[in-house]
């Protein structure tokens, strides 16, 4: 996830700019080197264990995955809240074309992030009143693209260890490669690096139980993602037919009812595993599907590119960099999108 922090232009209000600077300052103020946290008598044993493991993950990221070797994720900050930012996604009622927010340095992105939930929800209400489908997502980590020292956050630590490693690999991948005005490209690239990074980390440092747990979670996540993508594809086709609004609304309602029924069947196959219940509980709409599609739609293309270079990450990064230099239409064509 990329957070727009760095500049003010016509698309960013003074209020938004102020909260972004204030939020980044709070992170900076609360950050301290992990080494200092480890020697602090007040640090709990579980936190020391997690942070010690994270330092090893951070070294692995640079030495084995060739991700940026800097001070990011060598510091720790406890923000005393469950998420670092809340991101707002929005689409028209009968479209999956995301609303874009544009900023200097990072270009245009398909979400808008806030360091507290209230203004994110306020924007969401404004957009709903304008007729948009809207989804507000709590985000555990983000990348400042190397402009700041991104710390490990308490918001990341509730996840299993392989997911913590994945978050670090994902956010460092954004520092490695970022293409302006192409959110789907950036997030899919980072997801591809995250997946291969976790696999290699567990192969060298995990137990058989760790690997089995990760593989099970990946199977569930792939099944969830396929449900979402299938629903998106079906609805996208219906929207492109340009039918009457009442017919499109009926088709949309039926598609989400089917999605819920399919999820219920999937849970039975999982033996009742309920890890996605909260996601399905409310706000099923185009924007919520988009929040998944943005991260996963193009991942197979990047995984195929990695396979073409025999899983050599250094060659992979060079290939991706060359593709990233192309105009967006040609870039997507090169990836087979």
Looking at residue 243, its pLDDT comes to 86
Residues 255-280 as b or e (16 or more Cβ within 10 Å = b): bbeebeeebeebbeebeeeeebeebb
The pair of three-digit structure tokens given for residue 220, joined into one six-digit string: 């569930």
- The helix (H) or strand (E) run that includes residue 114 is strand 112-114
Residue 113, beta-bridge partner list: 87
Least trusted range by pLDDT, from 9-18, 140-149, 201-210: 9-18
Looking at residue 9, its pLDDT comes to 42
Question: For residue 88, what pLDDT band results from cuts at 50, 70 and 90?
Answer: very high
Per-residue pLDDT reduced to its tens digit, 66-77 = 999 999 999 999
Q: Which sequence spans correspond to the domains of the chain?
A: 14-211+297-334, 212-296
Q: In what order do the strands lie in the sheet with 32-33?
A: 32-33, 75-77, 152-153
Question: Which residue, among 227, 225, 258, 252, has the nearest Cα to 238 in the 3D structure?
Answer: 252
Per-residue pLDDT reduced to its tens digit, 251-297 = 999 999 999 999 999 999 999 999 999 999 988 999 999 999 888 88
Pairing label, strands 152-153, 75-77 = parallel
Looking at residue 120, its pLDDT comes to 96
Write down the pTM of the prediction: 0.90
Least trusted range by pLDDT, from 3-12, 20-29, 40-49: 3-12
The answer to whether residues 183 and 332 touch, using CB atoms and an 8 Å cutoff, is no
């Amino acid at each position: 996830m990329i957070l727009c922090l760095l500049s003010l232009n016509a698309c960013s209000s003074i209020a938004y700019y102020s909260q972004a600077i204030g939020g980044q300052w709070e992170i900076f103020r609360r950050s301290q080197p992990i080494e200092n946290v480890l020697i602090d008598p007040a640090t709990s044993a579980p936190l020391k264990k997690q942070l010690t493991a994270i330092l090893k993950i951070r070294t692995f990221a640079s030495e084995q995955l060739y991700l940026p070797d800097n001070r990011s994720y060598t510091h720790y900050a406890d923000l005393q809240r469950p998420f670092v930012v809340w991101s707002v996604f929005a689409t028209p009622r009968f479209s999956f074309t995301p609303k874009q927010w544009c900023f200097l340095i990072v270009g245009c992105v398909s979400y808008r992030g806030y360091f507290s939930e209230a203004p994110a929800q306020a924007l969401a209400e404004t957009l709903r009143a304008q007729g948009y489908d809207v989804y507000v997502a709590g985000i555990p980590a983000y990348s400042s693209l190397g402009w700041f020292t991104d710390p490990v956050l308490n918001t990341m630590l509730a996840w299993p260890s392989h997911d913590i490693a994945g978050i670090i690999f994902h956010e460092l991948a954004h520092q490695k490669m970022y293409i302006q005005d192409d959110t789907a490209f950036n997030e899919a690239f980072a997801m591809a690096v995250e997946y291969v990074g976790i696999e290699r980390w567990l192969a060298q440092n995990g137990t058989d139980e760790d690997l089995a747990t990760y593989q099970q979670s990946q199977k569930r996540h792939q099944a969830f993602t396929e449900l979402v993508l299938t629903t998106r594809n079906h609805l996208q086709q219906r929207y492109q037919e340009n039918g009457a609004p009442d017919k499109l609304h009926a088709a949309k309602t039926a598609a989400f009812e089917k999605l819920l029924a399919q999820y219920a069947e999937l849970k039975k196959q999982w033996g009742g595993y309920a890890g996605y219940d909260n996601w399905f509980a409310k706000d099923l709409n185009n924007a919520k599907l988009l929040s998944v599609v943005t991260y996963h739609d193009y991942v197979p293309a990047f995984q195929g590119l990695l396979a073409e270079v025999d899983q050599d990450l250094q060659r992979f990064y060079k290939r991706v960099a060359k593709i990233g230099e192309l105009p967006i239409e040609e870039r997507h064509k090169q990836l087979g999108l």
